[in-house]
Chains A and B, each alone.
Chain A
Amino acid sequence: MRAFLIRNFLQRLLLLFFVSVIAHAMVHIAPGEPSEVDPANPRMKPEDIAKIRAAFHLDEPLHLQYVYWMRDLFTGELKSFKDSQPVLPKIAGRFVNSLPIFICATLIVWTLAFPTGIHAAVRRGSFYDRGSTFVAYSLISIPGFFLAYLVILWVVQQFGIPVIGMRTFGASEAQPWLRFMDRIWHLVIPSLMSALVGIAVLSRYVRSQMVDVLQQEYVRTARAKGLDNDTVIYRHALRNALLPFITMFGLMLPALIGGSVIFEQIFAWPGIGRLGYEAILARDFPLVLTINFIAAVLTLAGTFLSDVMYAMADPRIRLS
C-alpha cells in the first residue's frame, strides 16, 4: 500500500511537470500578444513595448521563461501582466468569491439528484420516469447560458429586482440584516442554474446505476427477506451503486478552481472562472499559467483521492 502511494505520488508529480511544460509552451506559441505589449495598441510606442517586453522576459528563450515562471510562482513573486499585482492573492480572493455558489450548487445537486434518480429507477417506465427523463434531457440540451438569460430576463422584468453581481448595488448602507439577505438572494439564481444542470446530469447517472443494481440477485434476496422498500433501496442497493459517484466526487476538486466561466460572465460574478477567462483574452500569461497549474494539481489530487477511496469502498479492487 505504501509503495503504491509513493509510486503514484511520484508519477503524478512527473505528470504535473509535463502538464506545466506543455501548458507553458502552448500559451506562448498561441497567436496574440499580451495586450500590454500588443503592437496593435495605438497608444504604445515601440520603445515602450520593448521595455515592457524586457520586464516580462517575453523575448527570452522559452525554457528560460518557464524557469522564471516556476521560480516566481514558488517564491510568491509572480505578478500579473495587467496590473503588476501578485498572482496568488488575486486567485485566492476570487476563489473565495466562487466558493458560495459552488457549495450551494454542490449541496443541492448531491442531495436532490439521488432521490430523483432513484425514484425514476424504481418506477421505471412510469409517468414520473418518462417525465423526469424528458425534463433532464431538455435541461442538458438547452445551453446553460441561454437558460440563464431567459431566467434573468423573466425575473427582472416580472419583479424588477436585481439579479446580477454578488450584491445589489447601492445597498451598502442599508441595515446589516437587509444586506445579508441581499447577498443570499444574489446567490440564488447562479446556484440554482448550476444546480439544475448538475441535477439533470447526475440524476441520469443515478438512475442508470440504480437500474443496473436493482436487477441484481441480492436485491431480490433482500426483498425476499421481508425488508421494506426503503431499506432495500437506500441501504443495500444504493451502496453498491455508489462506486462511479465516488470517482465523480474526487473530480469535484478541480471543479473548485474551474469555477463556471459562462455563469460568472453572465452574472458578473467576480469569481475564478471569469478571472481565468479574462486573463486568457488579455494573454496575461502568469495568471493563465498559474490557474492552469493549480487546476492540474487539483485534478491530479482529486483523481488520486478517487482512486484511493474507490479501493477502500470496493474490496474487489486491489491497489497494486
Chain B
Amino acid sequence: MACLWDDYTKHLSQTYLFVYAGALNPFISTEKMILKRLLLLVPAVLLVILLQSVLWVPGYESQAKGNPKRLLQFVEGSIGDAKLLNPILNADSASARIVSLVFEGLLKLDENLQLSPNLAQEWSVSEQIYLTVNPNAAFPDGSTVNGAELEKRLTDFFSAAETNEGSIQTIRRIKPGQRTQTITLDTGESVSVSVELTIRIPEVIQIDLNSVDEDFSKKISSVLGDDYEENLPRAEWISIDKPGLKNKVSRRLDEFVPVIEHNPVITFQLRDDVVFHDGHTFDSSDVLFTYESIMNPRNLSPRTSDFEPIKAVEIINDHAVRVVYKRLFSPAVNAWVMGILPEHLLNAEALQAEMGSRGISGEARESFAMRNSAFNRNPIGTGQFVFRSWEGDELIHLGANENYWGRVPQYENYYYRVLPDGLAREMEFRAGALDVYRPEPHQVDRFRDKFTYQTFSSLSMGYTYIGYNNRKTLFADKRVRQALGMALNNEEIIDYVLYGEGERTTGPYPKNTLWYDHDVAPISYDPQAAIAILNSMGWEKNADGWLEKDGEIFEFNLITNNGNALRKAVLTIAQNAWQKIGVRVNTQLFEWAVFLEDFINPGKFDAVILGWQMGPDPDLYQLWHSSQSGFGQLNFVGFNNPKADALIERIRRTYDLELQKSLTHELHAMITEEQPYTFLYAPLGTRVLDKKIVMLEDDDAYAPVQSAPSGDLYYYFDRWRKLEHVPIF
C-alpha cells in the first residue's frame, strides 16, 4: 500500500508541475520575455499606484485640503495610552489628561493657581470644636469643672467684645453617644491584633465657629486654666473587647480622647444647571457617591489618602453639601478639584445591571467592582468634552459638549493620539497632523520661525535634585552637603544640559507658587570654599589627590534611573566636578523598577539624582516629615529635623493665607540651609503650537493664544480654534 501511495503522489506531483508548466507555456514558449516583463511590470505598476497618492495628501500648509472640519479639530500626541478614564482610579498622565477634559470637580484652579468655583458656585469654611469636659480638672479659681459651669464660663468669655470677633456662633453642652473605633495593635513577635474600642465621653462642649481658629485652645486657656489637660479620666471612658490587651492601649489613650477636637467644615453650594453627558442632572448625591467610592477599599483608589481626613460628607439638599473633617488640615480643600462621578451609572444597582448584561457569573461576580466596569473605557462626566470613542493604543476621541453649563468649546473634536516615538511626534507636528508638540531642550531652537510656529515656555511645577542619604555618617553633617553643593556649577548645567531651558531653584516649593521664597539665596559656586569646609572637618588631600580622613577616602556612589538623558548628563558632570575637589564618586544607571525596588524604597543608597513633580498646595508632609522615612515612603533621604517637622505640621493646620506664606517661606529657608538635597534646576516646559491657532476674545475677534499667568497653556483652551492661513494681527 505504501509504495502505491508513493507512486501515486509522484505521479500527482509531476502532473501538477506539468500543468503548471503548461499553464505558463503560452507565456513562455510563444512570448518568451513575458515572465521577465511580468517581473518588472508588476512592481512598476504597484509603485506608480503607491507613489501617485502623494499628490492627494494634506500637508502642513494645506491641512484643510478638501476638509474644512480639520480646523475645528485639536490633535494632541502622547507617549503612552491611557489606562482608566476614571478620575478616582487613574494613575497615569495620559488618563489624567483625558479625565481633566471629560470630568470636572467642585472647584478648579484659576489662572493664578488659586481655588475658584466650578461645579460648586460658592463654598464657605467653618468649624466645629469639641471640648471634652474634664471632671478631674479645676478652673483657675479652684472650683471643679463640670459641663454646665464650663458652658456658662465660655459663653460669658466670648460675649465680651474683645475676645469674640463675631466668629463664635453657638456654644452648647452635648452628651455624645458612644462611638467605636477599630485599631490594630502590635503584640510583639510581628503579630498584630485587631481590637475594637468603645469610647463613651459623658460630656462635651460643642462650639460652632464660622471660620477656622487654629489658636482656639490658646484663647480659652484663661478660662480653662493651665492644667486642664491633666488627669482626664480617659481609662474610664474607653472599654476594649479584648480586656487582656488593655495595657497596650493605655499608652495611647490621648489619641482616642483628645481634649480639643477641631472639625473644620466646608459647605459647598452646587450649581443647579449642570447635566451629565447622558442628560442626567448633577446633584449632591453624586458628590457623596464620589467620596464614598474613593474611600471604598474595594475600589483600590490611589486618592484615598487625600480624602482620609474627611469625617463625613452630608447632603443638606439637592444642591448643597457639607463636608466635615476630623482634624485641622488646610490642604484638604485642594482635593475637591477631583472629578465627580455619576452616581446613577456606578452605584451598586448599576454595577449589578452591568454584571447581568455582560453575563458575568460565579466567582467573577464576587470580585467585580468599579475597576472592572466598562465605564472606565466609556466615561460620562460633566466636563466640556464628551467621550466618543477609544481605539486601544491608538486614539481617544472626544467631542465638544453642546449642553455644557459654561462656555462651549470652539473645537468640535479633540483627538488624543498615542505616538510613543519622539521623532514620530515631531514629524507629525511638522506635517500638520498634530497641533501641539513638546520639544526637548535641544530642539527648541528649531521652532524659532515666528511665521510658522508659536512657542510657549513656562516653569513646570517640578524640580531636579541630588539627594544625599542623610542617615549615612558621611552625609550626616550639613556642612558636607553644603560643600558638595558648592562644588557644582549649576549655571553650567542649565546652560549646557538644558540649553538654557531651566531655572535655578533653591528650595522644596515650585517657583511659580506663593510658597517659594525668592529672597532665599542659592548656594554659590565656590569649589575652593568647598575644599576649605571639608578641610576644616578633617578631610585632607592625600597623595593620590583624594580627600582622606582617618585612613578612608571620601568616596560614594551616585546613581540614577536610565531612560533620562538629562539625569545621565548631570551624573557625569557631578562626578567630574567632585573629582576636582578630591571627592571620588562612582556612578551607575539602573532600570526604573530595579532602581526603586533595590535602592530607593529600602533607603540603600548614597546619593541619587531624581526629580519631583509638585502640586500647588503648601503641604510637604510626605516628602520632608521625619515620620515618612520608612520603606517605600517619600522622605527616602531620611531628612530629620524636629523644627522642620513642627513647621510642616503647623502649615497643615493653618488656614490663613498670609500666615501660610510666612510659614512656608520659613520652611523654605530652613530646608535650603540644611541642604538635604542639592537643589539643581526647575525645567522650563516648552510647547509649540501651529501659528494658525488663535483664541476667540469676548467680542468675537481673534487674538494670539495666551497662556495663564501661572503658566498653564490650556487655561483658555475652550476659546481656541485654527484658521486656514496664518493670521496677521
List chain A positions with a Cβ less than 8 A from chain B: 1-3, 32-33, 38-45, 47-48, 51, 55, 82-85, 90, 104, 107-108, 111-112, 114-115, 149, 152-153, 156-157, 159-165, 168-171, 173-175, 177-178, 181-182, 184-185, 187-188, 191-192, 228, 230-231, 234-235, 238, 265-268, 270, 278, 311-313, 315
Among B162-170, B241-249, B261-269, B418-426, the one that faces the other chain is: B418-426
Pick from B70, B394, B427 the residue with the most CB of A within 10 Å: B427
A interface majority secondary structure = helix
List 9 A–B pairs whose Cβ atoms lie within 8 Å, in order of A's numbering: A43-B91, A162-B58, A162-B433, A164-B424, A164-B433, A170-B433, A182-B56, A185-B56, A265-B420
Residue-wise interface mask of B (530-564) relative to A, using a CB-CB cutoff of 8 A (1 in contact, 0 not)? 00000000000000000000000000000000000
Given A156-B430, A161-B59, A83:B392 Cβ within 8 A:
yes
Pick from B28, B57, B59 the residue with the most CB of A within 10 Å: B57
User: Are A171 and B58 touching (Cβ within 8 A)?
Assistant: yes
Complex interface: chain B residues within 8 A of A108 (CB) = 43, 46-47
Given A111-B42, A162-B431, A182-B53, A171:B70 Cβ within 8 A:
yes
The verdict on B251 contacting chain A, using a C-beta distance below 8 Å, is: no
Given A111-B39, A114-B39, A162-B57, A265:B421 Cβ within 8 A:
yes
The verdict on B372 contacting chain A, using a C-beta distance below 8 Å, is: yes
Complex interface: chain B residues within 8 A of A185 (CB) = 50, 53-54, 56-57
Pick from B5, B377, B392, B419 the residue with the most CB of A within 10 Å: B392
Q: What is the distance, in angstroms, from A14's C-beta to the closest C-beta of chain B? A: 22
A-B contact count (CB 8 A): 194
List chain B positions with a Cβ less than 8 A from chain A: 2, 5-6, 8-9, 13-14, 16-17, 28, 32-33, 35-36, 38-40, 42-43, 46-47, 49-51, 53-61, 63, 65-67, 69-70, 73, 75, 83, 91, 300, 302, 367, 372, 377, 392-394, 415, 417-421, 423-424, 427-428, 430-434, 592-593, 596-597, 601, 632
Given A169-B433, A230-B32, A234-B32, A1:B9 Cβ within 8 A:
yes
Extra contacts besides A39-B597, A170-B433 (5): CB < 8 Å: A43-B91, A51-B300, A149-B423, A174-B67, A266-B424
User: Are B2 and A40 touching (Cβ within 8 A)?
Assistant: no
Distance, CA A315 to CA B11, complexed state (A) = 11
What is the chain A residue whose CB lies nearest that of B62?
A: A160
Given A162-B59, A163-B431, A268-B421, A107:B43 Cβ within 8 A:
yes
What is the chain B residue whose CB lies nearest that of A118?
A: B36
User: Are A107 and B58 touching (Cβ within 8 A)?
Assistant: no
Distance, CA A47 to CA B367, complexed state (A) = 13
Complex interface: chain B residues within 8 A of A171 (CB) = 58, 67, 70
Distance, CA A168 to CA B70, complexed state (A) = 11
Q: What is the distance, in angstroms, from B365's C-beta to the closest C-beta of chain A? A: 13
Given A268-B419, A268-B421, A188:B431 Cβ within 8 A:
no
Contact partner of B427 among A33, A164, A181, A188, CB < 8 A?
A: A164
Distance, CA A177 to CA B52, complexed state (A) = 13
What is the chain A residue whose CB lies nearest that of B14?
A: A315
Contact partner of B59 among A55, A112, A160, CB < 8 A?
A: A160
What is the chain A residue whose CB lies nearest that of B431?
A: A162
User: Are B592 and A188 touching (Cβ within 8 A)?
Assistant: no
